[in-house]
Amino acid sequence: MGKLTTISVVTLLYFFGDVDFAQSVTSMRFMPCAISGARCGRLVRALDPSGRISGTLDIYFEYYVARGTNPKHEALVATEGGPGYPATESRDEYLRLFEPFRADHDVIIMDNRGTGKSAAIDCAALQKAPSLSIKNIGECGEQLGARAAFFSTTYAVDDLEAVLAELGEGAVDLYGDSYGTFFAQVFAVRHPLRLRSVVLDGAYPLNGPEVAWYKNYAPAMRDKFNQACERSVVCKNIPGPSMEHIQLALDRLRTHAGLGEGPDADGITRHFTVNASTLAIVLFGSAPPLATLREGDAAARAYALGDALPLLRLMAESSVSVDSRDATQDPKQYSEGLAAAVTCQDMPQIFDMRLAPAQRVISRDQIFDKHRRANPDSFAPFTLDEYRGMPLDYAYLEQCVSWPRVGEQLPAFREGEVHGFPRIAILVLSGEFDNITSVAEGAAAAAQFSLGHQVVLRNSFHVNALPHARSDCGVKIARQFIRSLQPGDITCAQEIAPLRLAPSFAMDYAAVMPATALVGNQVSQSGLQVAAASLATCGDLLARLVANTSGQGVGLRGGHFTVRHDSLGLHATLDRIRWTHDLEVTGNLDVDLQGDGGVVRLDVRTDDGVSAKIAASWPRGGNEVNARLTGSVAGRLLIADARAP
């Protein structure tokens, strides 16, 4: 959920007081609705509550009335990340989170102004550009003109308050993920009496020192790779921390930059520049999160040794995954214009947004020169300029340099510390391996509120109370908090299994560590290597299956797969998949919802004429989990164990 864009912030937004809702609300109406169980509504709102700029917006929302006969008038509300995503497109995930409460609680999901069906901003040149640029972001601001300021988070939270008031709701429980945590905190500051509780899932604070420089970003990234390696059987015995392993690839990239290509998670070949900045987006972008962390260390080591394909594949996958737009680039699915408006007007910048863009560019260059001298390791292992080579909405620092001048009279530009956070029960869920909204930022968000609680979920990523999380621990804790206003038993947060990192990539199956023969095994050492390489081939697909959106993809060195999702997990059919050059696997792979336990049934052939039939299964669990392999290799009975993929 969410764009995975973190923006800790010093500034905002509540200083100009509550708007006059009687003036701002024109009418609410419900309409025919194809969404099961929902009443679809629109509330007409003034673009500018003061009336200085004319115009209105239709704010779209979905209203799920409590199923029982005795509702509590304590609605549940969910708000989306990004900024730029419409919340109603994530309705299924939010409704699943709220399911235990729906007998006696209404649920409201609203598309923020500028997103989805609430007048989505369409800066066409920006929305359809191959990539964000300083120029097309600035042009979007010019296109919006004076209207831009009224797509601030400030007005969006006031829209939600107006919807709740018109529906006659009392105090609500508000859930926000990613940028939605920023929205929820602004709502708490502006409308504290409307809230019973708030859950912030993947949070960053409104207040904080040096937030414009994202000082937690690089340390959290480095810690993520180092900690995952320390907990991995296949990584921890390699001398040095993970970032030293990755440094080997970075050193080579600095001297061998060029053009490259690789398959993304859907098997589409992507073309890109291969350099240090492309590696930076793999490490910083955390997209797709499982693949980049599971394979980053091993792929970097392979690249340093001359096997470029594993790292090129990660670069291809990341280049697609960090683009928040859907394939149609429809602003109703994700609005780049809204994302730019919120980022450039609500968030702190390293330069003064009151300057004209031309002056701001000069200021930016001076600030960067000073920073290079004073803080050369801020984004280590990358230099500032290598870091700046990432997409603008992940490097953050200069995406707003050409946005039109932001005037001091606008409510989105009221700098100063936010004081007097309300006394509301706040739960912050932080993934230990989330470098986008880090544990440190989550702690700072919780500390703003006297009733704030932070729970850190071990071995977990960004956003943890929704179905795509690594475990169901986050949703259990969130539900308990909504019931009791206390986190309750959080033991599960420390029990989430470590990731099983990818083994060293091998060009040939003879380079793979053999499976361990068990009593009754008749297969030779070479046959045990065939078995282990076959299992590793399946393991290599796991991250692809999780990130796949098309239902099909390709193997690392050849072959194809198809995959379908259902309530039980992921089900893949393999057609001559090659992880090494000389071994191909055909068969079926089924894994559970978290992609941790699984079953495979395989037909295997090697280029030197060995054939095998292998079945394997493994339970969910940590690094010490083994898979049991049975079947035959070259006509001999196979009974063996190997590390689970």
- pTM tops 0.85, yes or no: yes
pLDDT given for residue 529 in this prediction: 98
pLDDT given for residue 437 in this prediction: 95
Exposure string for 545-578, b = 16+ CB within 10 A, e = fewer: bbbbeeebbbbbbebebebeeeeebbebebeebb
- For residue 628, what are the domain limits? 509-643
Task: Return the closest-CA partner of residue 530 out of 627, 645, 642.
Answer: 642
Task: Return the closest-CA partner of residue 206 out of 446, 464, 454, 487.
Answer: 446
pLDDT given for residue 138 in this prediction: 97
**Residue 585 forms part of a structural domain:** yes
- All residues at 6 or more sequence positions from 466 whose CB lies less than 8 Å from its CB, including other chains: 1, 90, 93, 94, 96, 97, 177, 201, 474, 475
**Residue 346 forms part of a structural domain:** no
pLDDT given for residue 77 in this prediction: 98
Q: How many domains does the chain have?
A: 1
Going from the C-alpha of 42 to that of each of 31, 62, 310, 330, the distances in angstroms are 8, 9, 49, 21
**Residue 199 forms part of a structural domain:** no
**Residue 541 forms part of a structural domain:** yes
pLDDT given for residue 412 in this prediction: 47
pLDDT given for residue 25 in this prediction: 44
What are residue 108's phi and psi, to 5 degrees? -125, 130
pLDDT given for residue 1 in this prediction: 43
Do the beta carbons of residue 26 and residue 44 sit within 8 Å?
A: yes
pLDDT given for residue 420 in this prediction: 72
Mean pLDDT, each 10-residue run in order, the chain (645 residues): 39 36 61 92 95 94 91 90 96 97 96 98 94 95 94 95 95 97 94 97 82 92 98 94 98 95 94 97 92 97 97 96 87 97 92 94 98 96 97 95 80 50 96 96 94 97 93 97 97 94 96 97 98 97 90 96 89 97 97 82 97 94 86 98 93
Cα 294 from chain centre: 15
**Residue 550 forms part of a structural domain:** yes
**Residue 578 forms part of a structural domain:** yes
CB atoms within 10 A of CB 68: 11
**Residue 555 forms part of a structural domain:** yes
Per 3-state DSSP, the chain is made up of helix, strand and coil in percentages (nearest 5) of: 35, 20, 45
pLDDT given for residue 621 in this prediction: 75
Exposure string for 597-620, b = 16+ CB within 10 A, e = fewer: bbebbbbbbbeeebebebebebeb
CB atoms within 10 A of CB 625: 17
**Residue 624 forms part of a structural domain:** yes
